Structure formats: C-alpha cells, structure tokens
C-alpha cells in the first residue's frame, strides 16, 4: 500500500488533518514574529577609552595599542579598526564571520575579561574602558520629540517620562534617548573680585567639590532599628550655590554669589544634536526583543502613546522618523497579495489548459502547502522578514509542480476508464520518487546559501530553510491530499455520465494535442535544425546575461534616502549645525520631501539594519535622513541633489545615497593601506583618492581626514618651577578659562547636572 492509497482509504483522517493544518497555518501566520530584516548579529563591539588631555598620537601609542594588543589575544578576532582622537581612543573589535549570534555573548564576555586584564597597562589618567557590544541593535521605532517654545530641559523631562512608560509595552527591549543636551550649572568667576578678596579659583573648586560630595556617614542602633545617618548641607537648589561660603586668605567668609555669576545652561559644546524639520529635537529610539514581533511592538507603542497623550504638554509632539512596523506590515500584505495573485493565476492558467476543476484543486493545494509551511516556520522560530517572505514568493512558482503532475496523471487515467483509487496508486507509484528527486534538486539549488558561514549566509539563511520546508511539504501534499481531492473532484458528473470511470476515452484526441504532435514530429525529423536552434538560443542567452546588472543585494524600496556630510576637520559642532541648516532649507524646497531629520556630530541610532555610521564620525559629520512621498522619486532626485550640494559646499565631502538591502557596509570601494610611517601613509592615501576622483567616484575620503591646527601654549619651565606651577596646573587653568572645569555634580529629584 503506497502513501496515496493510504491517504484515500483513510480519507476521514486525511480530511481532518487537512482542515487542522489550514487552521493551524492561519494561527501560526498570525503568531509569527515579524521584522523588516532578518535577525542579524553585527559581529562588532566598540571599545571606548578616554584619555583626557592627550594628543591623538599619545592616545594611539599609550592607549589604543594597548587595547588592540588585548583584543588580538582573542582567537575569534578577525581584525581591529581603531580611531585615535584628542583625549579618546575608539577601537572596533570585529569577530570572524563564522560566529553566529548565539555564540557572541560568550565572545563579548571574553573580550571584557581581556580588557579588564590589560587595564593595568594603561597610563595614569586613562580609562575606564567602556565596551559597547549592543552596537548592532536595530531601533525599529524612532521618534523625534519637538516643541516650539520649549527648552531642551522641558523636552528631556517629557522624553524621560516616555522612556519609562514605553518600556512596559509588549516586545520592547530597550529605549535610548538621542540628541540630549545635558544641563549644567555654570559658575562664572570674576577675576577682579576674587583677586581683591584674596580668593583663588582653586578655593572655589575645593569648596564646591566638598559641598556636594556623597560621603558614608555611618549607622546608629535606635531601639530595635538600625538607621543610617544623612547629614544635611548638600545643594538643594540653584540658590544654594550662591549661598556657599568661600574662605579667603584673610580669614573672611564670602558668599559665592559675591564673586561669581551663577546660571543654569547646557553643556557646551554638545556631543550630538538632533534636528527634525529644522527644529531642535530629542530622539526616542526603541528596539525589539530577540525573536519579537516588530508589528506587535510598534502597535503596542502607539497604543501606549495614545494613553499618555494627556501627559504630553500642548505644543509638544512626537514626529515619526522611522516606523519599522509599517514597513513590515506593507511587506507582509504584499506577500498576501502575491499569494492570492498566484492562486488566481494558477486557477486561471490551469483552467485554460486543464479545466476549472484541476485548477481549483491545485490552487487549494497551494494554499494548504503555504499554511503547512507557516506551521513549521513557527515551530522552528523562523521570522517573517524580507528574506523569508522573498523565499515564499520564489517558492510559489514551484509549489504547484508536484501537484500538477499528480492531478494531470490521474485525470488522464480516469478519462481512460481507470478507477480513481487505481489511478492514484499508479500515478503516485510511478512519479513519487522522480518528483522527490526533482524537489531535492530544486532545494539543493539554494543549499549553498544555507551552508554559507559568513555574514551574507547568516543574513540569507532563512531563504534556504523556507525553500526547504515549503518544497518538501509540496511533495508531501502532492502524494497525499492531492490524490484524494483529484479522485473526488477532478471529473464532473457530466464527464462521468459521458464515460468517465469505467469507460475508455482518449485524452489526447483534442485539436491542441494534434497540433502539438505534428510540431513535435517535425522537430524530431529535423533534429539538426532543432539542435542548432537550441544551441543558438543558449548562446544568445549567455550573451544577453552580460547585460544583466549584477547586484546581490538590491536597493531598498524604503521611501527615504540619506545625505552624509563630512565638513572640514576641526570645525565646531555649532558651525556644522549652521551648514546643515542650509542643506535642510535646500532639501525642504524639493517636491515630494515630507520630513528631514538631521543628526549632527554623529549618526542616527541604527534604525535600519543596513544603516551604518563611519568610525571617525565627530563634530564635522552629519547624517541627514530625508523622507519622500514615494520611493520611485528617489532615483530622479539623487543626481541633482548630489551635484547641487557639491557646488554649495566645495570643501565638504557629500554623499547622497539610497538605502540598500543586506548587511551594512561602508563605501562600495574601500582601500586599506598599511605601514609604519604616518606621513607616507597620508601621502599614499591622497594619491589613491585623487585616482578615484579622476575616475568619477563621489564622496572620496580618508578615515584620517585632514590635518588641523592645534594651539600650543609654551610653558616657561624655569619661571613655572620657581612659582611652584606645574604642567597640570597650567592645563587646568587653560581649560577653566576657555572651556570650563567640571567641579561637582548637582543632584535634584529628577535629574543630575554638572557644575562648571
């Protein structure tokens, strides 16, 4: 008894399983996790190590090399990329492609141990080592909080509220605030007054530090309780700063307000700035838990925001910069449309060539196979995302092949007078093994993707697994449910009355088959002509293939594009903001532009898997995200925008580009030059960039950037020694005079501010 005979004889079980599979398929489809892109681990961690006051060369030699050597002790390491700037070492630790996301937590634990073991090799004043292994988190929901007439502090208070409240929404993993300007209490000291009263800046610094320094004050046994002391005296309000007593050299106590102006402000210069449609904003970026549903999370966040609407002040609003749930919903809806279209096309085409009943049977089997695929995908945790949906769409054209063979074979035999059960046994017995082999061949065509161990393989692996699942199930349904449905429904009562079962009839007697028989006979007789035509068509196809654009990951259909700006090195971030404002004004006049969100001093949070920011992004860098009405407009807009911005800012490196699918990369062409002499490396890099520019490349830049001016105060060491002045004292005096020195932390109920 073969499998088709068993399915027919146990028809009640077969029908029941079919119905159950359809229901489970629908339930599984509703419960499948949804993301825009596959869950893909960025095999990269960022190691930040501050070294205040050190030059880039000192940071490189004394800190960065220590971090690099520590990372190079790891067997999982692929390479390190470092960037040493004034007072800061930034090292990207990149792990080999063969390590998957499940293995990375252990790798990052080892990285932390290596860094902790080598921290003792850092110079005094360097550290602490900060490791960010969440570098690859994708923040699929990204809002900008704006409000005309509101200060950054008021925006921050509401942003903090939303951050706390939205964390409880379903499938939310983490919420980060972006573009926050920290508050500070500024103490502007009058030199004339301090000199007249015999007070030094150090006296004021010491008094401020001592006033608000948390100190353990012990405990006391009070009856049956054991209570902790909490002495008063710390700053409770801004007014308390002015009431601080400073002891002069003459023994007098003087109020701080008598020798200094005290004001509340923001830390200047800011490290990063966010602007939305030209207005200052605070970004709120939300990521989805591993294996979570981006659509569910997005809807839960929107629902919670509706509940919090009365707590957001009038005039403040959340501007949607990126909403992954919408993109995912559109993609899933697009697949449903494709599925329905495929079923409709199958029914129509097969109705023309095979009849309405065979077409309807095969269309139903297609739906059943997709439903069963959803069940297996749910079981194995395969997420509905760009690649898995693409795999299902690819498979739609192949899922009907097995069923067509079985339905057509049984229909022919039944019209020849063979009993339905016997026809099922014969057709499945003759074709099950060849069909299984053909299915295996189709699956193996995608096996190379499933077996890839690099990042591309990890990104695309669901393509292979979905193809494997769906095609395997198409064979299973073809040899079980298909024979049963064909036996019951393929022939109408009219066909049976005319002589269906039990009465022989030639199924190939129609005009179509007569014409095809004549064509086939002629092709066989003129076999050399037939072979020549086939070979010629094959050669023509090879020639034509050379004109096909080769791109493994195509451009995204996202209705957004990015403008990356690298202005001159050493520019103040506020100057970068002014230049960006000019670009925003230009872009706002473009037809079809709906939103402009500018990140200044760095990039946006990773709102899309394929979005990346250069390692050396700093004050001179800006990433401008532009939303348009329709993604089809972008190709026409980009060349003109690129040309205009290059003309407007000839000294800047401007790159206007679309988003691409696949793992994030830097430039399409990258050149790495190794060596020990910085001057030679810089010269070679400049020559290489000139060659690229001559060949028409755009946005050509070096990670080193250009040299910048550095003021060098010259210390008169003999006089400094005589006066007891040291190099650190000079550096602190310069910092206090030009930038301000952080002396203490002011803690209030809701926030913590620096005292500068």
- HEC readout, 79-111: EEEEEEECCEEEEEEEECCCCCCCCHHHHHHHH
The answer to whether the CB of 327 falls within 8 A of the CB of 386 is no
Q: How far apart are CA 32 and CA 28, in angstroms?
A: 6
Structure tokens at 538: 């094959």
- How much is the average pLDDT of 540-550? 85
Closest by CA to 137, choosing from 287, 33, 35, is 287
Question: Tell me: the pLDDT tens digits for 119-168?
Answer: 889 998 888 999 988 776 788 899 999 998 888 888 999 999 999 999 98
Residue 470: is its pLDDT beyond 90?
yes
pLDDT band at 748 (very low <50, low <70, confident <90, very high): low
Structure tokens at 95: 């792990």
* pLDDT at position 615: 61
Least confident of 205-214, 468-477, 659-668: 659-668
What are the strands, taking DSSP E only, across 192-315? 219-222, 225-228, 245-247, 253-255, 260-266, 273-276, 279-288
pLDDT band at 234 (very low <50, low <70, confident <90, very high): confident
Secondary structure (DSSP) of 230-248: ----S--SHHHHHT-EEE-
260: Cβ–Cβ under 8 A, 6 or more apart, which residues?
187, 188, 189, 190, 204
Pick 539 or 102 by higher pLDDT.
539
- How much is the average pLDDT of 23-32? 90
Structure tokens at 152: 């950054």
Question: Tell me: the pLDDT tens digits for 317-359?
Answer: 999 999 988 888 887 787 778 777 877 887 888 888 778 888 8
Least confident of 444-448, 564-568, 675-679: 675-679
Q: How far apart are CA 156 and CA 168, in angstroms?
A: 19
Question: Tell me: the pLDDT tens digits for 376-387?
Answer: 999 988 888 888
pLDDT band at 648 (very low <50, low <70, confident <90, very high): very high
Closest by CA to 386, choosing from 663, 631, 629, 44, is 663
pLDDT band at 505 (very low <50, low <70, confident <90, very high): low
* pLDDT at position 49: 92
The answer to whether the CB of 37 falls within 8 A of the CB of 138 is yes
The answer to whether the CB of 328 falls within 8 A of the CB of 344 is no
Least confident of 165-179, 236-250, 479-493: 236-250
* pLDDT at position 83: 85
pLDDT band at 664 (very low <50, low <70, confident <90, very high): low
- How much is the average pLDDT of 465-472? 93
pLDDT band at 676 (very low <50, low <70, confident <90, very high): confident
Structure tokens at 290: 């591993």
* pLDDT at position 598: 93
What percentage of the chain has pLDDT greater than the value 70?
94
What Cα–Cα distance (Å) separates residue 127 from each residue in 120, 135, 486, 525, 618? 10, 20, 74, 85, 20
Pick 17 or 739 by higher pLDDT.
17
* pLDDT at position 749: 41
* pLDDT at position 498: 56
* pLDDT at position 166: 92
pLDDT band at 481 (very low <50, low <70, confident <90, very high): very high
- How much is the average pLDDT of 655-670? 75
* pLDDT at position 43: 84
pLDDT band at 697 (very low <50, low <70, confident <90, very high): confident
Give the range with max mean pLDDT: 325-329, 613-617, 624-628: 624-628
* pLDDT at position 411: 85
What percentage of the chain has pLDDT greater than the value 90?
26
pLDDT band at 583 (very low <50, low <70, confident <90, very high): very high
> Which neighbouring-strand residues pair with 191?
none
Average pLDDT, the chain: 84
Residue 504: is its pLDDT beyond 70?
no
Residue 506: is its pLDDT beyond 70?
no
Pick 508 or 679 by higher pLDDT.
679
pLDDT band at 461 (very low <50, low <70, confident <90, very high): confident
22: Cβ–Cβ under 8 A, 6 or more apart, which residues?
367, 368, 371
- How much is the average pLDDT of 584-605? 91
- How much is the average pLDDT of 251-270? 83
* pLDDT at position 616: 61
pLDDT band at 419 (very low <50, low <70, confident <90, very high): confident
Q: How far apart are CA 597 and CA 599, in angstroms?
A: 7
* pLDDT at position 502: 47
Q: List alpha helices for 589-667, DSSP H.
A: 634-648
* pLDDT at position 581: 93
Residue 510: is its pLDDT beyond 90?
no
DSSP at 490: S
In the chain, what are the domains? 3-31+354-507 (1.20.1640.10), 44-132 (3.30.70.1430), 184-266+726-755 (3.30.2090.10), 560-680 (3.30.70.1430)
């Amino acid at each position: 008894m073969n499998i088709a005979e068993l399915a027919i004889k146990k028809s009640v079980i077969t029908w029941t399983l079919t119905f159950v599979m359809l229901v489970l398929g629908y339930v599984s489809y509703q419960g499948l996790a949804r993301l825009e892109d596959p869950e893909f681990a960025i095999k990269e961690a960022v190691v930040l190590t501050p070294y205040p006051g050190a030059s880039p060369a000192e940071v490189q030699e004394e800190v960065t090399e220590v971090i690099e050597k520590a990372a190079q002790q790891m067997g999982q390491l692929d390479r390190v990329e470092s960037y040493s700037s004034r007072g800061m070492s930034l090292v990207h630790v990149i792990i080999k492609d063969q390590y998957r996301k499940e293995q990375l937590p252990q790798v990052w634990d080892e990285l932390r141990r290596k860094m902790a073991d080598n921290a003792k090799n850092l110079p005094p004043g360097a550290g602490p080592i900060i490791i960010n292994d969440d570098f690859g988190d994708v923040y699929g929901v990204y809002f900008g909080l704006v409000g005309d007439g509101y200060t950054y502090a008021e925006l921050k208070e509401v942003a903090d509220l939303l951050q706390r409240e939205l964390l409880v929404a379903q499938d939310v993993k983490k919420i980060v605030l972006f573009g926050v300007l920290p508050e500070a209490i500024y103490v502007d000291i009058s030199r004339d007054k301090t000199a007249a009263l015999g007070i030094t800046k150090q006296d004021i610094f010491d008094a401020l530090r001592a006033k608000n320094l948390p100190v353990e004050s012990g405990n006391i046994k009070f009856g049956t309780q054991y209570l902790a002391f909490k002495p008063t005296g710390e700053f409770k309000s801004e007014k308390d700063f002015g009431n601080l007593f400073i002891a002069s050299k003459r023994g007098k106590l003087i109020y701080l307000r008598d020798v200094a102006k005290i004001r509340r402000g923001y830390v200047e210069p800011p490290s990063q700035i966010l602007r939305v449609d030209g207005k200052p904003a605070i970004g709120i970026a939300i990521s989805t838990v591993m294996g979570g549903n981006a659509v569910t999370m997005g809807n839960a966040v929107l629902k919670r925001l509706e509940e919090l609407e009365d707590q957001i002040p009038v005039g403040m609003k959340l501007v949607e910069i990126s909403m992954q749930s919408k993109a995912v919903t559109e993609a899933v809806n697009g697949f449903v449309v494709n599925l329905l279209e495929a079923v409709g096309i199958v029914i129509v085409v097969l109705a023309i060539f095979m009849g309405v009943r065979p077409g309807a049977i095969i269309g139903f089997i297609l739906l059943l196979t997709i439903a069963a695929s959803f069940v297996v995908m749910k079981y194995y945790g395969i997420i509905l995302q760009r690649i898995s949906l693409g795999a299902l769409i690819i498979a739609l054209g192949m899922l009907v092949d097995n069923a067509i063979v079985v339905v057509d074979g049984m229909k022919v035999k039944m019209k020849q007078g063979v009993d339905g059960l016997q026809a099922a046994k014969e057709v499945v017995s003759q074709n099950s093994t060849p069909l299984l082999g053909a299915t295996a061949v189709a699956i193996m065509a995608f096996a190379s993707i499933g077996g890839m161990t690099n990042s591309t393989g990890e990104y695309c692996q669901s393509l292979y697994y979905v193809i494997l699942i769906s095609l395997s199930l198409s064979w299973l349904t073809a040899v079980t449910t298909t024979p049963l449905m064909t036996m019951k429904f393929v022939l109408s009562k009219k066909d049976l009355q005319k002589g269906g079962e039990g009465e022989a009839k030639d199924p190939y007697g129609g005009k179509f088959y007569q014409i095809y028989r004549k064509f086939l006979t002629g092709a066989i007789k003129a076999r050399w002509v037939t072979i020549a035509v086939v070979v010629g068509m094959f050669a023509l196809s090879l020639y034509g293939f050379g004109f096909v654009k080769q791109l493994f990951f195509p451009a995204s259909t996202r209705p957004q594009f990015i403008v990356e700006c690298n202005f001159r090195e050493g520019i103040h971030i506020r100057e970068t903001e002014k230049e960006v404002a000019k670009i925003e004004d230009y872009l706002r006049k473009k037809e079809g532009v709906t939103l402009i969100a500018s990140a200044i001093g760095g990039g946006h949070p990773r709102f899309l898997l394929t979005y990346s920011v250069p390692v050396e992004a700093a004050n001179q860098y800006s990433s401008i995200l532009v939303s348009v009405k329709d993604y089809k407009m972008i190709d026409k807009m980009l060349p003109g925008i690129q040309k205009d911005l290059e003309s407007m800012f000839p000294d800047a490196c401007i790159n206007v580009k679309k988003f691409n699918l696949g793992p994030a990369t830097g430039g399409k062409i990258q050149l790495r030059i190794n060596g020990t002499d910085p001057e030679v490396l810089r010269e070679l890099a400049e020559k290489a960039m000139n060659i690229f520019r001559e060949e028409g490349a755009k946005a050509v830049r070096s990670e080193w950037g250009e040299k910048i001016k550095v003021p060098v105060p010259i210390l008169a060491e003999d006089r400094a020694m005589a006066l007891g002045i040291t190099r650190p004292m000079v550096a602190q005096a310069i910092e206090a005079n030009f930038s301000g020195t952080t002396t203490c932390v002011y803690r209030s109920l809701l926030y913590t501010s620096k005292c500068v």
